[in-house]
């Protein structure tokens, strides 16, 4: 049975521990973006910005922030582009509206359009990872006059399914635990994560082979507990994540909380209900898809299988790149390969 956004967004992660330190200071480097605030789509958003030229807009996923693109912004700016990465609605220093419905696909894609308007740009090239990929796929469909090309990471697009993702999961999983269904429970997941942001983030930000402790909860039923105890605590940080990086992420979520990001998941069904016009819609703009070969979202699919799955809904697909021995956090795990792939794709487009 086909599910919305391919059953691809099913396994969105698996992930890093309770390494201490609460330093809220952003790690510094020789090339740092400018952080500032803009008004977009009725909310105040924080953006990170570098460079001049055609706009490339980077859209992060869950549970992340603009900082997830810290390695991409300098590289793309140096190549002659205006590289911009916002804290998405509900994250970081960006506003966090109260209502769940304020995080539906119309609002979050509207935020991207609002960023273009605030920056005085008519069009942009999009780069989206995880939930950012879901948002950018829909931005290409809902606002095709504003977004000219897309680099989608981790979550492919197979078209609008016959049932919503949440309905499909409930039918197949029943009373077993699955994080997307857990997130549908009002107030529950954010209460768990807000109480231990380092616990959840450190367990998620891992590579596929990262060593872990044994999980505290192994019972598959939802009634057995939440998500943190189901993931073994890591024994060490992955090589691509420094202590300062983790501390910065933790400090951002300590301030912002997890409710906003989780509300994106609470709109899966609403998004499906409110977009019947996308039943036969196709992404015709140029697209490249990038993922780690071991990313759990693609569930072991080969590049050929991913191409075949996207062929009908994404006729603009130009290439699929799977990076070996790499997991979900591809742009952080494999910086050089990811940057090279983005720059190669940008080079095929007319400036």
Q: Whole-angstrom Cα distance, residue 190 to residue 98?
A: 14
Task: For residue 151, list its beta bridge partners.
Answer: 127, 288
Q: Which of 60, 129, 138, 328 is catalytic?
A: 328
Tokens at 125, concatenated: 């090239």
**Residue 311 neighbours by CB under 8 Å, 6+ apart:** 317
Q: How many CB atoms lie within 10 A of CB 88?
A: 27
Please check whether residue 341 is in contact with residue 150, taking contact to mean a CB–CB distance below 8 angstroms: no
The answer to whether 60 is a known catalytic residue is no
Compute the distance between CA of residue 190 and CA of residue 112 in angstroms, rounded to an integer. 25
Told to judge if 138 belongs to the known catalytic residues of this protein, a careful annotator would answer: no
Taking alpha carbons only, the member of 71, 49, 169 closest to residue 120 is 49
* C-alpha atoms less than 13 angstroms from C-alpha of 130 in its C-beta half-sphere: 25
Burial class (CB in 10 A: 0-12, 13-18, 19+), 120: exposed
Q: What phi-psi label fits residue 201: left (phi over 0), alpha (psi between -120 and 50 degrees) or beta?
A: alpha
Q: Which one-letter DSSP state was computed for residue 163?
A: B
Catalytic, out of 87, 95, 104, 130: 130
| Bridge partners (DSSP) listed for residue 319 | 288
Active-site residues, by number, are 130, 328
């Amino acid at each position: 049975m086909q599910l919305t956004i391919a059953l691809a967004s099913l396994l969105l992660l698996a992930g890093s521990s309770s390494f201490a330190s609460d330093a809220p200071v952003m790690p510094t480097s020789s090339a740092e973006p400018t952080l500032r605030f803009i008004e977009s789509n009725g909310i105040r958003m924080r953006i990170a910005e570098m460079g001049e030229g055609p706009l490339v807009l980077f859209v992060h996923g869950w549970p992340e922030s603009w900082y997830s693109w810290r390695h991409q912004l300098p590289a793309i700016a140096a190549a002659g582009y205006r590289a911009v990465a916002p804290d998405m609605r509900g994250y970081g220093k960006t506003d966090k509206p109260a209502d769940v419905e304020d995080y539906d696909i119309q609002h979050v894609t509207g935020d991207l359009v609002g960023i273009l308007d605030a920056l005085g740009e008519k069009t942009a090239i999009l780069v989206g990872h995880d939930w950012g990929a879901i948002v950018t796929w829909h931005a290409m469909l809902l606002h095709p006059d504003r977004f000219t090309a897309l680099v989608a990471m981790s979550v492919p697009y197979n078209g609008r399914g016959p049932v919503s993702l949440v309905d499909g999961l409930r039918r197949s999983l029943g009373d077993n635990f699955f994080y997307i269904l857990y997130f549908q429970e009002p107030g529950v997941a954010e209460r768990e994560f807000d109480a231990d942001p380092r616990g959840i983030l450190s367990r998620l930000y891992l590579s596929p082979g990262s060593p872990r402790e044994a999980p505290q909860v192994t019972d598959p039923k939802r009634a057995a507990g939440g998500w943190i105890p189901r993931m073994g605590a890591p024994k060490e940080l992955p090589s691509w994540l420094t202590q300062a990086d983790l501390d910065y992420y933790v400090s951002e979520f300590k301030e912002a909380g997890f409710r906003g990001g989780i509300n994106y998941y609470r709109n899966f069904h609403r998004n499906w209900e409110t977009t019947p016009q996308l039943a036969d819609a196709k992404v015709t703009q140029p697209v490249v898809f990038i993922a780690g070969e071991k990313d759990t979202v693609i569930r072991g699919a080969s590049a050929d299988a991913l191409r075949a799955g996207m062929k009908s809904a994404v006729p603009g697909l130009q290439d699929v790149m799977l990076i070996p021995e790499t997991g979900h956090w591809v742009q952080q795990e494999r910086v050089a390969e990811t940057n090279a792939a983005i720059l190669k794709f940008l080079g095929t487009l007319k400036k």
